[in-house]
Structure 1
Amino acid sequence: MPRLNFTKKALDSLPVPADGKRANYTDTKVSGLELRVTSKGTKTFSCQRWVKASARPERITLGRYPNMTIEQARKQALHISGAIADGENPAEVRRQLKGEPTLNELFSDYLRRHSQLVKRSWREDERVFHKYVSPTFGGRKLSALNRRDFVALHATISRTAPIQANRVLALCSSLFGWAEDVGLWDSSNPAAGIKKNREKKRDRFLQPSELPRFFQALAAEPSDTVRDFFLACLLTGARRSNVLAMRWEELELTEGVWRIPDTKNGEPQLVTLPTQLVTVLNERRAHTTGAWVFPGTGKTGHFTEPRKGWERILTRAQALGIVKALAEVDSWSEQRIQDMTEKALFQPTDVIQGCAVALGKHDMTPEQFSLSDLRIHDLRRTLGSWQAKHGASLAIIGKSLNHKSVQATAIYARLDIDPVRDSVTRAVDNLLAAGGVTAPGDVVPFKKKSS
């Protein structure tokens, strides 16, 4: 049997045997480690050791190359050799290898026994794992994973999504940490201690000039659940997960208070409900049944995925920005402004594409009016910024947003350094007024414009 130093270059260049034939190679570094190559090009690692009790060699299949790396194969071969040398039955060694969970199986346990029980964001854990981790490592046995694998995974994701790469690494570290706590993992955490990408704290929030078209776009949203959900996010400053899971039993509309029993920082929270939002919630209460303020059709019973609605709103807002700009530079008539505004609300993509040439004549592009950099979480930041703008102290902002630390709230002080004067209600009144929605304190009639 040919012997060679198993390297990636060497294994990748091995010839494919003729039809019906197989070729076997042994590693010069680890005794007993073999690689079998079939006529179809399949390469499989195995470990062959002499067993005294049976007076014959035993072969144990390890995994296929390149899904199993050379380093992982060597590690398992050494483990098997040691176990057999200690007198373990090869059949028991096979059973242990077969019974060891894969990363996918470990994550299923983690999701069921931990994440779903203690994290409102467990669906995000599920999405992140299946999108970024499972395709690469999901089928591997836990013992076949090491720190180098997670360093490589983080580096790969970082090329296009550096912040997401950090989130993936944090999830993997949490997964192995939990596995260690419950006795499913007895080695060091392979995803812990890896250097993460530097994150710059976002200070994006809705600017005064953006508010009118944002509110217009929101009011035109055909789904009242989507529309009211985003309004609640903006006017309460609450986290998306809390607003999605809002229950009627948590609300005292006559007092204008929302009592959230469980939040991200582990403590209950009292949220002020501005009178404008109370009006919207009272209307929802009259037309919805069940426990959830924003009911859904999935397993949770409540609305869970607002992204598509968010994209619709931002697209409408972009189209409205284009119409406003062209109306000013080309001196459109009132009728044309009205017609194009209507089209921007209900056929926004047509407006964005159709106005590209007209914008170009004024050295403008459709992208200049895009709000695609605005995230749902920025609605929460928007309330904090308007509180700072109108004089609220860091303590008041932190209390309204349920921040545990002053550091978490300090970002809003950078947005505006006006003297400390006011609180959430004044911030909401002024925010809505800047958006052209209502005079402070009046009701907000968010209704879809009839066609």
Structure 2
Amino acid sequence: MSKENKFNFTEERLRKIKPAATGKRAYYYDQSTAGLRLTVTDRGGKSFQVQTWSPAKQKPIISTIGKWPSVPLHEARSRASRLLVEVRDGIDPLQLKRQRRAEMTIAEVAEIFMQEHAKPNKKSWRDDECRLNKRIIPDFGAKKMSDLSHEDVKRWHSGLVSAGLSRTTANRYLEVLSGLYTVVLPKTENPCDGIKHYREVQRDRFLNQDEVRRLFATLEAEQNEDIRDYILLSLFIGARRANIQAMRWSDIDFNLQQWCIPFHQSKSGSTMLIPLVVEALEVLERRKATTTSAFVFPGKGKTGHLVDLRRPWQRILNHAGIDDFHLHDLRRTLGSWQAITGASLPVIGKSLGHKSTAATSIYARLSKEPVQFSMQTAVSAMKQIAAMPAEETAANVIGNKTTQER
């Protein structure tokens, strides 16, 4: 342990500690309170823990106190002192924590799950939070963790589908509920165990020629510039919804005609360089000239950027006469049109940021040029179709032939 990692904790010094190296964790030890340490992740998450020797178990034990700054330093020191006394008295703090949490309500454990696991570790934590708040807490929040039975969960899972949710969505809800037990109470019986997931059918939906024409016509008449530009960029770039929503001007290089998605925002966990076709650059340059925000799509909420597009998106689909089409299907549409216009699967995978172990060696040899050319060809084809009269496209509508969505 270096001297730099052991010092007298203060709120100010904790605030100045930088994230750990990529893929690593850093540990800092308090000189004022025996056993108290701070764990820092590569994303900057900071949590208090107690590390001490257990006479009962004859081995070192580590117990997590909570995340800083939600747990302030003075409270962490107080809890650490109590834990050390309990360990000296032969009490297993981990077992005691499990027992206490088993008697908590599901709503209380959901809060622990979000603060200690989902937010520090998952890029998709907002999806977990949404599922907890929308169904799990309203349906089970008042129940104690130990009171929820296997039959309760089984009926609930099937009831989600009966209520109109898709089988895929019902499976995602089940996984979040199960996560409350596997993450917060790993040695407690999980009532979700043994419940069979519904079979999920992979979507293969993308826009055919006639739908492309109708969508572009609708967007041309759309008055809300943010929604119109967001949809156009989604179609021209093919990036994931959350990445485009959080797009920053500082990550766009107009000279190199590319957009850099930082590693901590990409699904693959690696920095992604996305080529920008001419049409995407036109949208971005127009928006850049009229904004002072750090975000390409600023919003009024806590994130600072655009988040919820469900209502305007459904309105646009209704106007365009397009059914059963999700925002994510815009990404699939670009990939499918790349395939239609002759692109190879490795080029499509590179442009969409797919991460495949089998194809990694091929992807690594691809330069930006063929990828950007493929994207430009696909976008140009869609724009050409959109400019045609309806009677010309109706006679030659491309069927829903797709590339595999990874």
* Smaller-chain TM-score bracket: 0.5 to 0.7
Q: Is 1:172 the counterpart of 2:177 in the alignment?
A: yes
Q: What is the CA-CA distance between 1:407 and the residue it aligns to?
A: 9.3
1:266 corresponds to: 269
How many Å separate the matches in 2 of 1:198 and 1:228? Answer: 36
User: Which of 140, 144, 147 is equivalent to 2:143?
Assistant: 140
2:340 corresponds to: 389
SS at match of 2:331: helix
CA deviation string 1:306-325 (max 9, x = no partner) = 1111012112112xxxxxxx
2:107 corresponds to: 104
Q: Is 1:312 the counterpart of 2:315 in the alignment?
A: yes
Q: What is the CA-CA distance between 1:98 and the residue it aligns to?
A: 9.7
Write the mapping of 1:3-18 to structure 2, written as runs, cut at 5 A.
none
Task: Specify the code of the residue in structure 2 equivalent to 1:236.
Answer: I
Task: Specify the code of the residue in structure 2 equivalent to 1:226.
Answer: I
Q: What is the CA-CA distance between 1:383 and the residue it aligns to?
A: 0.3
How many Å separate the matches in 1 of 2:374 and 2:325? Answer: 24
CA deviation string 1:398-425 (max 9, x = no partner) = 11111223899xxxxxxxxxxx9x7222
CA deviation string 1:235-258 (max 9, x = no partner) = 111110111111111111221111
**Against the structure 1 CA distance between its residues 98 and 377, is the aligned structure 2 distance closer, same or farther, given a 3 Å change threshold?**
closer
Q: Rg: which structure is higher?
A: 1
Whether the 8 Å CA contact 2:181–2:188 is kept in 1: the answer is no
CA deviation string 1:150-174 (max 9, x = no partner) = 2221111122222211111122223
1:400 corresponds to: 351
**Against the structure 1 CA distance between its residues 433 and 174, is the aligned structure 2 distance closer, same or farther, given a 3 Å change threshold?**
farther
CA deviation string 1:196-245 (max 9, x = no partner) = 11111111101111111101111222211111111111111111011111
Whether the 8 Å CA contact 1:247–1:292 is kept in 2: the answer is yes
2:239 corresponds to: 238
2:207 corresponds to: 206
How many Å separate the matches in 1 of 2:121 and 2:224? Answer: 30
Whether the 8 Å CA contact 1:121–1:241 is kept in 2: the answer is no
The alignment of Structure 1 onto Structure 2 pairs a total of residues equal to 276
Task: Specify the code of the residue in structure 1 equivalent to 2:195.
Answer: I
**Against the structure 1 CA distance between its residues 390 and 99, is the aligned structure 2 distance closer, same or farther, given a 3 Å change threshold?**
closer
**Against the structure 1 CA distance between its residues 306 and 113, is the aligned structure 2 distance closer, same or farther, given a 3 Å change threshold?**
same
Task: Specify the code of the residue in structure 2 equivalent to 1:312.
Answer: R
2:329 corresponds to: 378
Q: What is the CA-CA distance between 1:143 and the residue it aligns to?
A: 1.0
SS at match of 1:271: strand
Whether the 8 Å CA contact 1:260–1:268 is kept in 2: the answer is yes
**Against the structure 1 CA distance between its residues 198 and 148, is the aligned structure 2 distance closer, same or farther, given a 3 Å change threshold?**
same
Write the mapping of 1:222-237 to structure 2, written as runs, cut at 5 A.
222-237=223-238
**Against the structure 1 CA distance between its residues 292 and 98, is the aligned structure 2 distance closer, same or farther, given a 3 Å change threshold?**
closer
Task: Specify the code of the residue in structure 2 equivalent to 1:220.
Answer: A
Task: Specify the code of the residue in structure 2 equivalent to 1:164.
Answer: T
Whether the 8 Å CA contact 2:298–2:305 is kept in 1: the answer is yes
Q: Is 1:254 the counterpart of 2:205 in the alignment?
A: no
Q: What is the CA-CA distance between 1:146 and the residue it aligns to?
A: 3.1
Q: Tell me how large the CA RMSD over aligned residues is.
A: 2.5
How many Å separate the matches in 2 of 1:407 and 1:163? Answer: 27
**Against the structure 1 CA distance between its residues 288 and 373, is the aligned structure 2 distance closer, same or farther, given a 3 Å change threshold?**
same
1:189 corresponds to: 190
1:286 corresponds to: 289
Whether the 8 Å CA contact 2:112–2:184 is kept in 1: the answer is no
CA deviation string 1:41-98 (max 9, x = no partner) = xxxxxxxxxxxxxxxxxxxxxxxxxxxxxxxxxxxxxxxxxxxxxxxxxxxx9xx779
1:68 corresponds to: none
Whether the 8 Å CA contact 1:245–1:292 is kept in 2: the answer is yes
Q: What is the CA-CA distance between 1:99 and the residue it aligns to?
A: 8.7
User: Which of 384, 387, 394 is equivalent to 1:433?
Assistant: 384
How many Å separate the matches in 2 of 1:174 and 1:266? Answer: 22
How many Å separate the matches in 2 of 1:267 and 1:140? Answer: 40
SS at match of 2:222: coil
User: Which of 153, 163, 168 is equivalent to 1:163?
Assistant: 168
1:350 corresponds to: none
TM-score by length of 1: 0.57
SS at match of 1:392: coil
How many Å separate the matches in 1 of 2:150 and 2:351? Answer: 41
SS at match of 2:210: coil
How many Å separate the matches in 2 of 1:315 and 1:407? Answer: 40
Q: What is the CA-CA distance between 1:122 and the residue it aligns to?
A: 2.6
**Against the structure 1 CA distance between its residues 288 and 193, is the aligned structure 2 distance closer, same or farther, given a 3 Å change threshold?**
farther
How many Å separate the matches in 2 of 1:271 and 1:107? Answer: 36
How many Å separate the matches in 2 of 1:289 and 1:115? Answer: 32
2:396 corresponds to: none
How many Å separate the matches in 1 of 2:178 and 2:343? Answer: 38
2:367 corresponds to: none
SS at match of 1:254: coil
Q: What is the CA-CA distance between 1:372 and the residue it aligns to?
A: 2.8
CA deviation string 1:93-112 (max 9, x = no partner) = 9xx77993211111122222
Of all paired residues, the percent bearing the same amino acid is 42
1:358 corresponds to: none
2:302 corresponds to: 299
Whether the 8 Å CA contact 2:102–2:145 is kept in 1: the answer is no
Whether the 8 Å CA contact 2:251–2:259 is kept in 1: the answer is yes
2:65 corresponds to: none
How many Å separate the matches in 2 of 1:406 and 1:249? Answer: 30
SS at match of 1:197: coil
How many Å separate the matches in 1 of 2:193 and 2:229? Answer: 40
